[in-house]
Chains A and B, each alone.
Chain A
């Protein structure tokens, strides 16, 4: 029975994908809502002890032990140039989203997780011009979540690209 239910859900996901719908993991950083495509994400974990890596790039917080694999964790505040004023630092809500991208496993540290939503790809638009928002070149676009606020969608390949690591290849 359970299998059947799963199959139905899978089928639905496929149909939705055809209809231009995709699932996004929504999280919060500095009181803003962000979303990343669920296909990149592997799991959401409570932040374990992060070991700082000296001499690494500014946005690398450090590395964690994910079941025996060393996984770098990225600080999205730094990467997106978000001011730290609005950081919501409740340690017990802080999470790491592990993502897999071009054979690399990385962790994204976020303030807290909101949930998973279905978004209509057709409704995603270019981010509005504004001076104080996150870096525009890392964004895939924005999507209206409800009447009064927008969900900011990250282009993960661009966000995580730096130095010698270029996912566009």
Chain B
């Protein structure tokens, strides 16, 4: 009977790896070239072997070792995926699963006898007949690689590497001896557009004055690009030709050092397992943790409002405040993922789309490192896909038309992410045809969404907003890329569901810009507390431009509606009580000539909301009203305030719409 703590860990991890292997091998069956899948199954087999060895399960170690060997050969390109190999791997995996199960039933001991049949023999014999034919010299030419990293550099690289960056090792030879220095310099310049050089055999600064012949440049390189894209970019180099390109994984460094030190020792295996400084967490557990931190924050606020005049109390509260804030911060950090994780799928999509449609498009991404809450990122992929497809399909014109209009023949689409205050902004910008507001207006009238008279009252921005109206698609021709007329509606709904906003700017003939702004996180936010018709409400601070007190006599009239003129800008005024008070609610008859106004904003629109009273600004934990109260107009959720009561959160978008 072994130590239970280790055993539990072993079973939990083993099952996880078995799942990874299962999914990975399945993927390989369908996509034999999927390098990510190969890397994933290799890692899983490697880790499983390490664990089995550490626990002293000889049979399991042997079996996983054989699997790992085959996978390693696969990864190095020495083997190709065949049905036979897949079958063997699955058979091995089934045995692994069976063994783990038996170990569990056997109270942590491997069964005395376990019959693999000829599986091990078959596995180890497999490679001999199926060496990849003429496996490409580029990949096999490891002897050519003279540039290596010291172990310090490996560590440095591990630190330097950002989450979604890939490490490549590559070598290029300079095309011609004439101006070799300049050519080499151009290679550096091109590479710097694609990522970051970590190490090269000749430093960039030395290139210009390099006396000897430069025939080969070798690099360790960090890039967001997938290997295929990277390779395509490199092959387009006119000054040099690519000798080899290989993706290097951080764990390759580990496994290479393991190989050097010979047979893997049991204790080492456990160490390497523990030295992995990241853990995977069930998202449900994380959500629970966040909820609990939320509760803690609420209770902290309640405690603060007790206002006990004791000095000890006054001493403890700021401490508690700091601790809860830090805790909150850390928990939120755990959920943050760089948007590059999601963006990485787009270059490929854009390339395929523009090829399909015969358009030449320069696709530029920036801000991939910008971090967003994981749950937001997951939801955001579809809307962005739709916006980008639209930009290719309806935005960028055909090359001839662009030429006629005096634009560059190559169209440009940009996808940008950046942080602005407490919001994350994602923009899709194209320099294409732009959106014809008159056309949209005509369509909206034609479909009966709005009357001709009403449309004439609207400004351009309000008309462009009809693009998001369900059932209004401006594509005169329905293509299979876009133009089903439901897309933009769904885009807006998804963004809205994430508590975000989307707006359009477009100039006919010059291009369009879609701006999505999103809260940093969904769970906790700063809010302005106000009183309307006797009840307390919260307005998320990112929707508030400013608060002010005004005199009733300063209310202006514009087209029969109340307005306020603020720094030469006319802002409509709305009484919150009219939206939120009960029908029979009677405002206390205090004749006052002072009004409290909160200027709220949605995208670039503003409204002055007249409230009873401005209270304070505080941190609130956003809670859902649940499924029973769905789509309540002008209310987006609720929060619990200091006295334990519920305060509702205003939905600024509904109020302004």
Contacts and interface: CB of A to CB of B under 8 A. Distances in A.
A63 B582 contact: no
B638 A55 contact: no
A115 interface: no
A7 interface: no
Contacts of A160: 628
Contact of B624 (A49, A52, A55, A70): A70
B257 interface: no
B629 interface: yes
Nearest to A71: B626
Contact of A165 (B582, B625, B628, B635): B628
A110 B625 CA distance: 22
Interface in A99-139: 103-106
Contacts of B626: 70-72, 104-105
A70 B579 contact: no
Interface string B622-657: 011111111111110010100011111000000000
Contact of B627 (A49, A51, A53, A165): A165
Interface residues of B, number: 29
Candidate in B626, B628, B629, B631 with the most chain A CB atoms within 10 angstroms: B628
B581 to A, nearest CB: 7
A53 B628 contact: no
Contact of A65 (B625, B627, B631, B644): B644
B580 interface: yes
B258 to A, nearest CB: 49
Given A54-B581, A63-B646, A65-B644, A163 B630 contact: yes
Given A53-B625, A63-B625, A68 B640 contact: yes
Candidate in B295, B646, B647 with the most chain A CB atoms within 10 angstroms: B646
B535 interface: yes
A105 B629 CA distance: 11
Given A63-B625, A68-B640, A53 B298 contact: no
Interface in B419-457: none
B295 A68 contact: yes
Contacts of B634: 54-55
A65 B629 contact: no
A53 B629 contact: yes
A114 B628 CA distance: 27
B635 A53 contact: yes
B63 to A, nearest CB: 43
Given A51-B645, A54-B634, 14 more contacts: A51-B647, A51-B648, A52-B582, A53-B629, A54-B632, A55-B633, A63-B629, A63-B646, A65-B646, A68-B295, A70-B640, A70-B646, A72-B625, A72-B626
29 contacts: A49-B644, A49-B645, A51-B645, A51-B646, A51-B647, A53-B648, A54-B580, A54-B581, A55-B579, A55-B633, A60-B629, A62-B646, A63-B638, A63-B646, A63-B648, A65-B640, A65-B646, A68-B623, A68-B640, A70-B625, A70-B626, A72-B628, A104-B627, A104-B628, A106-B628, A164-B631, A165-B627, A165-B628, A165-B630
